[in-house]
Structure formats: C-alpha cells, structure tokens
Amino acid sequence: MFKILQKSFRVGTATADYPRVAPRLAEQYRGCPEFDFAAWSDARPAAEACPTGAIAVSDHDGARQVTVDYGRCIFCGECEAASANGAVKMSRQFELAVTTRRDLVLTAEYTLRSDGSHAELKSATSGPAVEEPGKRIAEAIEDLLGRSLSIRQVDAGSCNGCEQEIVALNNPVHDIERFGIHFVASPRHADMLLVTGPVTRNMELALRKTWAATPDPKIVVAVGACGISGGIFGTNYASLGGVDAVIPVDVYIPGCPPRPEALLYGILLALGKVRQRGGSHSR
C-alpha cells in the first residue's frame, strides 16, 4: 500500500491538458496531407500511390478534376513522396472532425498539357482550416463542462486499431472523464454511439439494433477512415463501407487510427451538437 502511494506521489500529474494546451507531437508525427493545388504539376502519381483511393482523378475534354477525400485518408504519406515541387506536404494537423461528410472532400480542376500533366489550375476548394491545435475547441470548452456525456462504443467491423486509441482516452494521460464523459456498457444508457467500421455484413443487424436501443436524442460519431468511408476495405461482398451507409452520422473523425486528441476533438465537437439539438444551448 505504501509503495502504491509513494509511486503515485512520485509520478504526480500524468494528465495532458488538451485541448487547453496543444499536445507535444513528435517532430516526425504525420497528420493529414496538405495540398498546394497551384503548385501540383501532376496528381496522377499521388492517386496511383494512394492505398485507399482518397486521391482520385477524372479526366475529360482536356480537363482534370482531382478530388481529395480526408474521409478515406490514412495519413500514410505516399502522396507526398509521389508529388513534385512540395505540392503535397504531410502536416501535423489532426483536428479534422466535421459534422458534414462533404466538408472532408476537396476538389481542384486543371487544364491539361499533352503529356497529361497540369497546365493551369482553374478552380480549387480550400484546404482544412489549420489552427493551433485545440484552439477552436478550447474557446468553447468552459461552456460544455457542465454536461456529462455517456458513450457506447460500437465496433462494427474495425481492425481494432481505432479501439486501441479509444481505450487510450481512459488512461491517465488523456483521461476523458475530466470532461464528465464516460463509456457505458449498454446503448440504453448512452447519449452517443462512437462507431468504428467498416460496417461488415455480419455486423449490420447488430449496429441497427444498437442504434435502435439508444434513447433519443442520440448522436452518432463515425470514427476513422473505415468508419467514415470503409477506408482501405471500401465496399465489397462482406463490407458495406462507412457507418452512414447503415445509420445516420452526426460527426466524422478522420484518421487511421485518429489519435486520442483527435477523438477528443471530435467528441467535444459532437457534444456541442448534442446541446444544440437538446435546445438548451446553441453555438
């Protein structure tokens, strides 16, 4: 007993203060890729290298449309290696959760040279808003602390990668309970379903039943590239793709897997939405 207390005193506080304080990321950490569309001379090698089809090109009439889908991206960095001029750079950005699926998709249109490389950038949507990690949420956090949130996690077919990082939310470093958020054993006790994917054919019914068992108002968060889009598995004879192919989704958290702070960011984003829906608070 003495040893336990002694150890606890020696360790002191282990908890990181995200989102108030940005996490200490290793210099090598890979967040999402960022695209300088004007400097991108050819998107084809990156599209070819991308393991999940997050970068896609479609050519017609001497023009090319390039789409970049952060909902499929696994942050592997292959597009950076395949692109010249520093047009694609891996950033350290991980706060990517959104409430609308299409906000994860960027597009750019180019005219083409005869060799198929880009001649001129005609139009492009802007990249994800890059802020100091945690800033956006930190401003809203004071308001949110008054409410507790119960989460039921549902693995609808994942590889268990996302689950590892979700479990890490309960360790003393990330300690999600400091926000009054805790994981519960039954969907009947839950305000939120935190769902990983891809949704397999063998889990579809269980996911529907879990959703039906969760009392209203409820919020669904799709976690990871596979939970958002099916990821590298996509849709096939055994996989139905992302969570929103089966139940309605309120918040999407990209990553493979999303790091604990990215999960926290998405959950806190959703928490704002819960209050919005409940009518007691609006942001």
Partner 1 sequence: MTPLFEELRERFPEQIRSIDEPVPDQVTVLLSGPDVTEIARHFLSEYQARLVTVFAEDRVKAEGVFYNYYLFDRPGDTAWVILKAPIPADHPSFPSLAAELPAVNWQEREIQDWFGLEAAGHPNPRRVALHDNWPDVHPLLKDFPLDTVLPLFEGERHVYRPAYGEGVFHIPVGPVHAGIIEPGHFDFAVAGEPILYLQLRMFYTHKGTEKLFENIPIHRAVFLAESISGDSAFSHGTAFCEAVERAAEIEVPRRAQWMRVILLELERIANHIADVGAIANDVGFVIANAHAGRIREMVLGMNEMLTGSRVLRGMVGIGGVRRDWQQAQVEAIESTLAVVEREFHDLVVILQASHSTRHRLERTGILRPEKASMLGVVGVAGRASGVNLDIRRDHPYEAYRHLSFSVPVYQAGDVRHRMKVRIDEVAESVQIIRSAVSRLPEGSHRAPAQPIPPDRCALSAVEGWRGEIVHWVRTGEGNCLERCKVKDPSINNWPAIVEAVEGNIVADFPVINKSFNLSYSGTDR
Smallest gap from residue 130 Cβ to partner 1 (A): 18
Question: Residues 93-132 vs partner 1: string with x where CB under 8 A?
Answer: ----------------------------------------
**What backbone phi and psi angles, to 5 degrees, belong to 218?**
-125, 160
Determine contact, residues 78/29, Cβ cutoff 8 Å.
no
Pick the closer one to partner 1 by CB: 255 or 272. 255
Smallest gap from residue 97 Cβ to partner 1 (A): 18
- Cα three-residue angle 131-268-265, rounded to 5 degrees: 40
Beta-sheet pairing, 33-35 with 88-90 = antiparallel
Pick the closer one to partner 1 by CB: 123 or 236. 236
Distance between CA atoms of 182 and 239, rounded to whole angstroms?
29
* 201 contacts partner 1 (rule: CB under 8 A): yes
DSSP per-residue codes, 61-128? TTEEEEEEETTT-----HHHHH-STT-EEE-S-----BSSGGGGEEEEEEEE-TTSSEEEEEEE---P
Return the closest-CA partner of residue 199 out of 171, 147, 234.
Answer: 234
Question: Residues 17-46 vs partner 1: string with x where CB under 8 A?
Answer: --------xxxxxx----------------
The residue from 49, 57, 63, 245 that contacts partner 1 (CB under 8 A) is 49
Residues binding partner 1 (CB under 8 A): 3-4, 7-8, 11, 14, 25-30, 49, 51-52, 74-78, 90, 153-168, 170-173, 183, 185-187, 198, 200-206, 210, 226, 231-233, 235-239, 256-257, 259
